[in-house]
Structure 1
Amino acid sequence: MSLQMIKPPEQRSLRSHVERALSAAIISGELAPGTLLTVPTLATQFDVSATPVREAMLDLESRGFVEPVRNKGFRVTEVSDDALRELVEVRQLLEPPAMERLATMFPADRMDEMRAVAEQIVEGAASGDLQAYLAADLEFHLSLTQMLGNRLLVDIVRDLRSRTRLVGLATMLESDRLGESAAEHLLLLDHFAAGDAEAARELMHRHIHHTLGWWAGNPERE
């Protein structure tokens, strides 16, 4: 991945900008496990001082995405199949039932807003902009979860998603799989519009399962 094309942010939080860009690259597999990252090099590539880069790396370390290498920098950690499977299992226990319930009470006045976010996910997939894809995906799912009115559930889902690795995501750009996955967000909204709770639950279950399938670089049954 070339980080040289990333322009300096207009936002106040340089740390947040660096963290989001690196997080997306690690989650998607653009920065492969074992890649060594150094603060001075990243500071130059992002055109920022070393401080926000160092702070961003500490954030990524707390999520298990990187580990410090003495006198060298940080190394992108290997993905543990067992840890990923455990994350997916917990998400399957929480998110499909949540979307099943939401289908029975989805606020119609939020539909246009959520379709716009879903379209951003589709556009991110079509353009190959994985950072935009992942940002819109997170906004979409957390916004839906927030509609249930349970702040603890939102916090748990946010934490689980923040630690989920999708190392096969970058390679999906070479196929139609990423577009198919992106289109599932629009289909989920169709289920909400129809009040089809069972279909919403089944789709969310399948969507999360991609984490162990397509998004991990593994085949899935048609």
Structure 2
Amino acid sequence: MTLESLRLPEPRSLRAQVEQTLSAAIISGELAPGELLTVPTLAARFDVSATPVREAMLELEHRGFVEPVRNKGFRVTEVSDEALRQLVAVRQLLEPPAMEQLARVLPELPADRLEPLRAFAEQIVAGASRGDLPAYLAADVEFHLGLTALLGNDLLVDLVRDLRSRTRLVGLVAMLESDRLGESAAEHLVLLDLLAAGDAAGARDLMHRHIAHTLGWWAGNPETAEALAR
């Protein structure tokens, strides 16, 4: 991965565009731990002023993705196995039960509430098939936050958003050379089917396995039945 291959997404605030682009590259492992990033280089690469780049880097520092290097810039941080395990543990406490609850209350919601989310699930699958990790990750965030929002609990949405924003998936790049990215992408469509069928236990269990990929495939590690069951 080189800076020359990075591209900004469609118009948002410049800071948000820079942050989204760099965040996706760091989350997926395209920008590897230890890589040095400088504000002038990034500003020139993206053809923007230094201000939105500096603001984006400070936000990435707050998320723990980069650390300042005196008189040099920012270095992409190493991925702490323990920190990742703690993030996954908290997500497992929140997201699978949320999907279980959603499967139970979904019949009370308008029948078309899942349709916009199916479009995001299809974008995730398409991103995986093209090897477009930024598109994959952007659609993944919209999908999961959109599902969580159906429960009507804004605090839960904020917590899930924060936890996902700090989760690193450095094995995604390696998954491009296998079928695993496509397999994990397809789980989003399966989850929608389970929710639509009112299968609360199935939705909970699938979400549990899906998050477990964070310590397995998405971290570049093999997966075992025992690990997925934790």
Instruction: Please tell me the TM-score bracket, short chain as reference.
Output: over 0.9
> What CA deviation, in whole Å up to 9, does each residue of 1:117-142 have, x standing for no partner?
10000011111111110000000000
| 2: CA distance, partners of 1:179 / 1:110 | 25
In structure 2, what residue type is equivalent to 1:120?
Q
In structure 1, what residue type is equivalent to 2:156?
L
1:215, CA displacement in angstroms?
Answer: 0.3
| 2: CA distance, partners of 1:141 / 1:8 | 23
| 2: CA distance, partners of 1:96 / 1:73 | 39
Q: Tell me whether 1:73 sits opposite 2:76 in the alignment.
A: no
Relative to structure 1, is the Cα distance of residues 25 and 158 closer, same or farther in structure 2, using a 3 angstrom cutoff?
same
Which residue of the partner structure matches residue 21 of structure 1?
A: 21
In structure 2, what residue type is equivalent to 1:78?
E
**Which of 176, 193, 197 is the matching residue for 2:196?**
193
| 2: CA distance, partners of 1:170 / 1:132 | 13
Which residue of the partner structure matches residue 59 of structure 2?
A: 59
| 1: CA distance, partners of 2:80 / 2:12 | 35
> What CA deviation, in whole Å up to 9, does each residue of 1:83-124 have, x standing for no partner?
000000000000000000101122421222111110000011
Retained in 1: the 8 A contact 2:9–2:21?
no
Retained in 2: the 8 A contact 1:64–1:77?
yes
Retained in 2: the 8 A contact 1:115–1:189?
yes
Give the 4+ runs in structure 1 shifted more than 4 A: 5-10
In structure 2, what residue type is equivalent to 1:183?
A
Task: Flag structure 2 segments of 5+ consecutive residues without an equivalent.
Answer: 226-230
In structure 2, what residue type is equivalent to 1:17?
Q
The alignment of Structure 1 onto Structure 2 pairs a total of residues equal to 222
> What CA deviation, in whole Å up to 9, does each residue of 1:183-208 have, x standing for no partner?
00000001011110000000000000
In structure 1, what residue type is equivalent to 2:24?
A
CA RMSD of aligned residues (A): 1.2
In structure 2, what residue type is equivalent to 1:187?
V
Q: Which moved more, 1:27-36 or 1:110-119?
A: 110-119
SS of aligned partner of 2:105: coil
Q: How does 1:34-53 map to 2 (within 5 A)?
A: 34-53=34-53
Task: Flag structure 1 segments of 5+ consecutive residues without an equivalent.
Answer: none
> TM-score when scaled to structure 1?
0.97
1:26, CA displacement in angstroms?
Answer: 0.3
> What CA deviation, in whole Å up to 9, does each residue of 1:158-205 have, x standing for no partner?
000000000101110000000000000000001011110000000000
Which residue of the partner structure matches residue 3 of structure 1?
A: 3
Retained in 1: the 8 A contact 2:68–2:74?
yes
| 2: CA distance, partners of 1:152 / 1:218 | 32
| 1: CA distance, partners of 2:43 / 2:198 | 49
1:2, CA displacement in angstroms?
Answer: 3.3
